[in-house]
Amino acid sequence: MSNMTIRVVTEAKEFESLGEVWDELSQNSGHDTSVYLTHEWLWTWWRHFGEGKKLNILLIERERQVIGIVPLMRTEYRLGLLRLRALETIGSVNYNCVGLTQSENREEVIAAFLAYMAEELANNGLVLRLTLVPEDSEFLALLRKNIPSFADNLAVQEKATTVAPYIALPATWDEYFRSLSGNRRWILRRRLRALEEAHVVDFQECTVDALDARLNEFFDLHQKRWQSVNVKGVFADPRNKEFYRDIATQFLERGWLHFSCLTVDGEMASAEYGFVYGRKFYAATAARDPRYSKYSVGHLHCMFLIRETIEKGLREYDLLRGDEPYKFYWTKLARRYMQITIIRRSPCSRLRLGFVSALLRLHELRQYGLREMYYLYLIKRREKRDKKRMGLKTQR
């Protein structure tokens, strides 16, 4: 780690100015990056949701050249008189690669990162909490490899929290379609034929001119679905609508947005707000019109999307976090998402890790009212039955 230093960015103006450095490092990071680790995503997320938090972005440098970035923030969780101060990744809502590093410098960057953590957690009583980290992440592999060197200073808890189904895309649509069961192929063809016989059907990608109007339709359609099961839905919060608009505009300019609609008689029946980055499609958020559920309009939309991603030469279709049964209609592959909690080692490390886990769980549950929690429980119970019928294991 000779000539290596860590500079901590705490001001929003400096964060905003890092775009060029961020892009250059991202291009040299190999496969261990994602659209959720771009400067555009993180800076936009921070502008919309950073209130009440403090920036703590680590720039790992050698001779004034940035060779690693770990975009962290300081946040605080309160529950009555209990308080927990944590370091977390900025904007980790669906996928978290934790940090950017040049391929040839990864070992040194991870070692420097852990040395910084050992000192920071000891001096300030903080907890490092990394959520939604893919188990096949190179950053995680190197973190595991280097943690033993800091065993006297750091206590680590690692657990799987959910899975993210994905499709390893083959060279042709025919090859993929044949991989589905004969019964599923027959159902898809039958539903599509029935829909096309009764209605005018069109699959289209949203254009610049139609973006604002289509987003309004998308928000309304998404909310109707969740309100029908007595859950408020993500777009009940106006900040989420504005964030999605902001990201859509920026990503459209960069060629990363893939916002598609399946229309029936000219009206939006299904929409998929997703991204294309690094030859990978990220299926971020979907909305379906329940009036067309008998046609399985969501599955038909997904079928069109998978065919398009294959034709574009993408290598993966990522259905992102959550083990909802509909995702396994298309694939048997899934990667585990891990949660890593790191604290300063002490004789009470195990008790403190248990306290951290319990407090964060209670804080998560507190975001919902009792009524909404009940309906979410009913949804989960139905999904559990569906997974059992499909022969799928339930995530704990």
CATH number of the domain enclosing 124: 3.40.630.30
Residue 329 inside a domain? The answer is no
Question: In the structure, what pLDDT confidence band is assigned to residue 366 with cuts at 50, 70 and 90?
Answer: confident
Residue 236 inside a domain? The answer is yes
Q: Which burial class, exposed, middle or buried, applies to 148 when counting CB atoms under 10 A from its CB (0-12, 13-18, 19+)?
A: exposed
Instruction: State mean pLDDT over 234-246.
Output: 95
Say whether both 71 and 88 belong to one domain: yes
Instruction: State mean pLDDT over 229-258.
Output: 93
Say whether both 155 and 184 belong to one domain: no
Say whether both 175 and 157 belong to one domain: no
Percent of the chain beyond pLDDT 70? 92
Whether the pLDDT of residue 290 is over 50: the answer is yes
Say whether both 18 and 139 belong to one domain: yes
Instruction: State mean pLDDT over 268-296.
Output: 95
Question: In the structure, what pLDDT confidence band is assigned to residue 173 with cuts at 50, 70 and 90?
Answer: very high
> Which of 282, 314, 346 delimits the end of a domain?
314
> Which of 270, 299, 314 delimits the end of a domain?
314
pLDDT of amino acid 231: 79
Question: In the structure, what pLDDT confidence band is assigned to residue 105 with cuts at 50, 70 and 90?
Answer: confident
Is 0.75 topped by the overall pTM? yes
Cα(326)–Cα(332) distance, rounded to whole angstroms? 11
How many independent structural domains does the chain possess? 2
For residues 357 and 365, is the Cβ–Cβ distance under 8 A? Answer: no
Residue 395 inside a domain? The answer is no
Whether the pLDDT of residue 261 is over 60: the answer is yes
Instruction: State mean pLDDT over 19-46.
Output: 90
Instruction: State mean pLDDT over 282-294.
Output: 94
Alpha-carbon Rg for the chain in angstroms = 22
Instruction: State mean pLDDT over 288-307.
Output: 95
Q: Measure Cα distances from 208 to 38, 201, 276, 290, 308 in Å.
A: 22, 21, 16, 27, 20
Q: Which domain holds residue 96?
A: 4-161+337-386
pLDDT of amino acid 63: 86
pLDDT of amino acid 396: 43
What are the tokens at 36? 């959720």
